[in-house]
Amino acid sequence: MEIYSRIVVCRDIDVAIESILSSIPEGDRALVFRKGDSFLVEDAEAVMEKAYLASEERVVLILAANRFGDIVQNKLLKLIEEPPPGKEFVLVIPSKSMILPTIRSRLPLTYIGVDTEDAEEVSIPDMERLDLKSLYDFVRESKYLEPVALRKTIEKIAKGAMSSESYELDEKSMDMFRDAIVLSSSRPDSEFVLTALLLKLLARKRKKGIS
């Protein structure tokens, strides 16, 4: 299969990398930048250094991590917009929601080991153990959800909160979920919607030992 620069959304990053490597045509070369957690600024600088090295063969640079921060993505943006001759870039991630819209608009999406419908959603935090840290970590990773994925995520949060029995929820309190769903279609700002919803929900969390 011919390799072109793209974003690969996958369930297993290492499996996806192996699939990409096996598809690289003979005569081309691959450079893999695999990070266990976050792709850092120094990692992006290493990619840029390798990308601008002259090469007679085509080089596929595979950038893989669980997280790509906004600063890192902005640093890579010009490289992706105007790649050096003979260079291809493949970003491998577990969820497209963490990729900046500016990069998503420039690279096609493909999926490895995940259904496209499932790829529109993100995993929600453990609602029984939700705290401020897990709340903001989740929001940070989900800040670029599209409206349909955002609505589905809100529905999952509502079901998770109810099934956990860790929150003081009544019929009136269900309005916060309905309001969030309305906002998800009229305001495509997933960071704002999810932060507001989860902070309200956290305020209703039962204290341990109180039923």
Question: Residue range 144-169: average pLDDT?
Answer: 87
Task: Tell me what the pLDDT averaged over the chain comes to.
Answer: 87
- Residue 1: band (very low, low, confident or very high) from pLDDT cuts 50, 70, 90: very low
Cα 64 from Cα 33, distance rounded (Å): 6
Q: Is the pLDDT of residue 192 over 70?
A: yes
61 token code pair: 């640079």
pLDDT per position as a tens digit, 84-139: 999 999 999 988 888 888 898 889 888 888 765 555 556 788 999 999 999 988 88
Q: What is the pLDDT of residue 15?
A: 93
Percent of all residues in the chain with a pLDDT value above 70, rounded to a whole number: 92
Q: What is the pLDDT of residue 211?
A: 44
Q: Is the pLDDT of residue 200 over 80?
A: yes
Q: What is the pLDDT of residue 119?
A: 54
Percent of all residues in the chain with a pLDDT value above 90, rounded to a whole number: 55
Question: Residue range 17-38: average pLDDT?
Answer: 92
Question: Residue range 38-59: average pLDDT?
Answer: 94
- Residue 151: band (very low, low, confident or very high) from pLDDT cuts 50, 70, 90: confident
Q: Is the pLDDT of residue 51 over 70?
A: yes
